Amino acid sequence: MPRPRFSFSISATDGKARTGVIEMQRGDIHTPAFMPVGTAATVKAMRPAEVRATGADIILGNTYHLMLRPGAERIARLGGLHDFMGWERPILTDSGGYQVMSLSALTKMSEEGVAFSSHIDGSRHLLTPERSMEIQRLLGSDIVMAFDECTKNGATRDEAAVSMERSMRWAARSRQGFDDGAEHAAGAALFGIQQGALDEELRRISAQKLIEIGFDAYAVGGLAVGEGQEAMFATLDFAPGMLPADRPRYLMGVGKPDDIVGAVERGIDMFDCVLPTRSGRNGQAFTWNGPLNIRNARFAEDQEPLDAGCTCPVCATWSRAYLHHLVKAGEILGAMLMTQHNISFYQALMAAIRESIAEGRFADFARDFRARYGKGSA
C-alpha cells in the first residue's frame, strides 16, 4: 500500500491533549512531536543517525539560512536537502519570514515581501510568499510553511491586526505558490500559520481565513517571542481550539520542557526549538529534575551521569565531571555530548507525554513532571 502524502490520525485524547501519528511519504511522525532544529542543513554537533537514535521522526530546516548558504538552487542541483545532509525522514522547513526580520539587515517590508541584506555577506535578496514556496520546493521540504510576518511582541491591537491581515494575504499567495509548483513536490504538505498576537478576536479571524484558504495543517505563530509563559498559555487556552481538530497543530519555536507540557495540555501536537541544541553547546543540560549548568564548579568531581533516570548514550558512558571538564575546556566533544543528551531528553519527554495520553493519565504525568522539574528556569 503506498504511503499517503499527509494523513493524521489521533489514537487517543486526554482532556485537550491528543496523541497520534502523521503519515507522510518519508516516514511517520508520532505526536506530540518535538522537531530538532537543523538550521544550516545540520542539527548542530550531531550526525543524522545520532539524531534519529534519540527518537526524532522529523527535523526542521531554516529557509533563511539555507537560501543564503549554500543556496536553494545549489541544494536542488545536489539532489535536495535530504540527500545533501543524509537525513531520509521528513523535514519541515520554515518560511524564512521570522528569521529574515530577526537576523538580516536593512530589511524593507512591503506588500510584495521583504527585501533584505544577508547577515553573511551583505548581498541583497527578496523574500516573498512565492519565492519562499519556491525555495522550500527546491530544498525538497516535506512540510512547507506559509510565508508570514511574525507580529512583534508588544504590538498594539491595531498593529497586530494590520500585521495579521497581511499574513493572511500572504497565506493565500503561499497556497497559490505552493499549488503552482505542486507537480514538482508531490510528497509535500503545506501548513498555514495563525497570527493575531495575544488577542482572541484576531486569532479567530486569522483561523477562519486560514481555514477558508485551506491547508494540510495549521500552526500557532507569533508566540514565544518574549510575552512570557503566562501570556503564552493564556493565548493557548483559546487559539488551538480555533484550528481544525482533525489536523495537527504546531506551536512554532517552543520551547522549554514545561512550555511543551503546558502546550500539549492545551491541544498542541508539534514543537520545534533551538533550546536543547543551543543551550547544550553553552553547557546547559535538561534533566527530569530541571535544568543544570554543567559549568558549575560543584560538578567538577561529580561522578554521576547528567541524569540518573536517562537512558541516552551520554548518561550511560560519561560523568558530569567529564562533561564539566569538556565544556570548561571548550572541547567540541562537550558540545556533541551535551547536545546528544538534550535532544535525547526532549525525545524521551515527548515519548512519556505520548504514552501518558495513550493511557489516559496525562494530567497526572503533567502534575508529577512539574513537581519534579520545578519551574524550568535555567
Contact 58, 30 (CB under 8 A): no
Phi, psi of 303 (to 5 degrees): -85, 0
Q: Is 94 a catalytic residue?
A: yes
Residue 289 CB, shortest distance to its own copies, in Å, is: 22
- Report the site for its own copies in 67-86 (rule: CB under 8 A): 69-70, 74, 77-79, 84-86
ω into 255 cis (within 30 of 0): yes
Q: Which of 57, 148, 216, 272 is catalytic?
A: 272
Using CB under 8 A, which of 16, 44, 119, 278 touches its own copies?
Answer: 44
Using CB under 8 A, which of 13, 25, 293, 319 touches its own copies?
Answer: 319
Which grid coordinates belong to 288? Answer: 527530569
Residue 302 CB, shortest distance to its own copies, in Å, is: 9
Residue 71 CB, shortest distance to its own copies, in Å, is: 9
Nearest alpha-carbon partner for 254 in 67, 60, 68, 29: 60
Using CB under 8 A, which of 245, 300, 308, 378 touches its own copies?
Answer: 300
Q: Which is nearer to its own copies, 328 or 361 (CB)?
A: 328
Q: Which of 14, 57, 94, 216 is catalytic?
A: 94
DSSP string for 263-332 = HHHTT--EEEESHHHHHHHTTEE--TT--EETTSGGGTT--S-S-TT--SHHHHH--HHHHHHHHHTT-H
Residue 41 CB, shortest distance to its own copies, in Å, is: 6
Residue 129 CB, shortest distance to its own copies, in Å, is: 27
Would you give the binding string for its own copies spanning residues 5-34, x where CB under 8 A is met? Answer: ------------------------------
Contact 159, 204 (CB under 8 A): no
**Residue range at the interface with its own copies (CB under 8 A); choices 27-35, 43-51, 164-172, 354-362:** 43-51
Q: Which is nearer to its own copies, 17 or 60 (CB)?
A: 60
- State the greatest distance between any 2 C-alpha atoms of the chain, in Å, as a whole number: 60
Using CB under 8 A, which of 335, 349, 353, 366 touches its own copies?
Answer: 335
Nearest alpha-carbon partner for 166 in 204, 112, 214: 112
Verify binding: residue 42, its own copies, rule CB under 8 A: yes
> CB within 8 A of 247, min separation 6: which ones?
8, 215, 216, 217, 218
Residue 323 CB, shortest distance to its own copies, in Å, is: 11
Angle between helices 320-328 and 332-358 (to 10 degrees): 130
Nearest alpha-carbon partner for 273 in 260, 291, 254: 254
Verify binding: residue 297, its own copies, rule CB under 8 A: no
Which grid coordinates belong to 358? Answer: 495513550
The footprint of its own copies (CB under 8 A) covers 40-42, 44-47, 69-70, 74, 77-79, 84-86, 281, 300-301, 303, 317-319, 321-322, 324-326, 328-329, 331-333, 335-337
- Give the residue numbers annotated as catalytic, written as ranges: 94, 272
